[in-house]
Chain A
Amino acid sequence: MLILGIESATAQVGCAVGGHEGVLASCHTSKGRRHAENLAPQIDFVRRQARIELEEISVVAIDLGPGLFTGLRVGIATAMAMAHALNVPMIGVSSLDLVAFPVRFTSRLIVAVLDARRGEVFSACYRHVPGGVQRITEPQVITPEDLAGELQATGEDVLLVGDGALRYADLFADLKGVDMADHGLAHPSASSLVQLAHAQALREEWVQPWELQPMYLRKPDAEINWIRRDS
Chain B
Amino acid sequence: MTDFNQILGIETSCDETAAAVVVAAQTVRSSVVSSQIELHARYGGVVPEIASRAHVELLTPVVAQAIVEAGIENADVDAVAATYGPGLVGSLLVGVSAAKALALVWDVPFVGVNHLEAHLYASFLEEPTLELPLMVLLVSGGHTMLVNMKGHGDYEIIGSTLDDAAGEAYDKVARYLGLGYPGGPILDELSLQGDPTAIAFPRAMKNDGYDFSFSGLKTSVVNHVRKNPDVEAADVAASFQEAVADVLVTKARRAAREYGSKGICIGGGVAANSRLREAVLDACVADDLQAFLPSRSMCTDNAAMVAAAGWHRLHSDGPSRIDLGANPSLSL
Contacts and interface: CB of A to CB of B under 8 A. Distances in A.
A48 B323 CA distance: 17
B204 interface: no
A150 to B, nearest CB: 28
B50 A223 contact: yes
A159 interface: no
Chain B binding surface SS class: helix
A36 B60 CA distance: 18
B326 A36 contact: yes
B289 interface: no
Given A36-B325, A85-B74, A222-B47, A54 B104 contact: yes
- Most chain B Cβ neighbours within 10 Å, of A38, A77, A220, A221: A77
Contact of B105 (A39, A86, A214): A86
A73 B98 contact: no
B6 to A, nearest CB: 15
Contacts of B59: 77, 80-81
A84 B60 contact: yes
Interface string A80-120: 11101111000000000000000000000000000000000
Nearest to B100: A40
Given A37-B324, A41-B323, A85 B49 contact: no
B26 interface: no
Given A210-B61, A222-B47, A73 B93 contact: yes
B53 A220 contact: yes
Contact of A73 (B47, B56, B99, B105): B56
A37 B323 contact: yes
A57 B239 CA distance: 61
A36 B96 contact: yes
Interface residues of A, number: 36
Contacts of B43: 222, 226
A203 to B, nearest CB: 24
A214 B54 CA distance: 11
A70 B325 contact: no
A54 B60 contact: no
A121 B132 CA distance: 57
A210 B60 contact: yes
A92 to B, nearest CB: 12
Chain A binding surface SS class: helix
Interface in B68-121: 74, 89-90, 93-102, 104-106
A196 B273 CA distance: 54
A81 B98 contact: yes
Contacts of A36: 93, 96-97, 325-326
A222 B104 contact: no
Contact of B97 (A55, A77, A86): A77
Given A84-B64, A210-B61, A74 B93 contact: yes
A87 to B, nearest CB: 8
A38 B323 contact: yes
A69 interface: yes
Contacts of B323: 37-38, 40-41
B322 interface: yes
Given A41-B322, A85-B74, A69 B49 contact: yes
A189 to B, nearest CB: 20
Contacts of B227: none
Nearest to B10: A81
B52 interface: yes
A20 interface: no
B42 interface: yes
Contact of A80 (B53, B56, B96, B99): B56
Interface of A: 34, 36-41, 43-44, 54-55, 69-70, 73-82, 84-87, 209-210, 214, 216, 220-223, 226
5 contacts: A70-B89, A80-B98, A81-B60, A82-B102, A222-B43
10 closest A-B pairs by beta carbon, nearest first, are: A220-B49, A81-B101, A85-B105, A81-B98, A77-B97, A40-B100, A222-B47, A37-B325, A36-B325, A77-B94
Given A38-B323, A77-B56, A81-B59, 10 more contacts: A36-B96, A37-B325, A69-B90, A73-B53, A73-B94, A77-B101, A81-B97, A82-B102, A84-B102, A222-B43
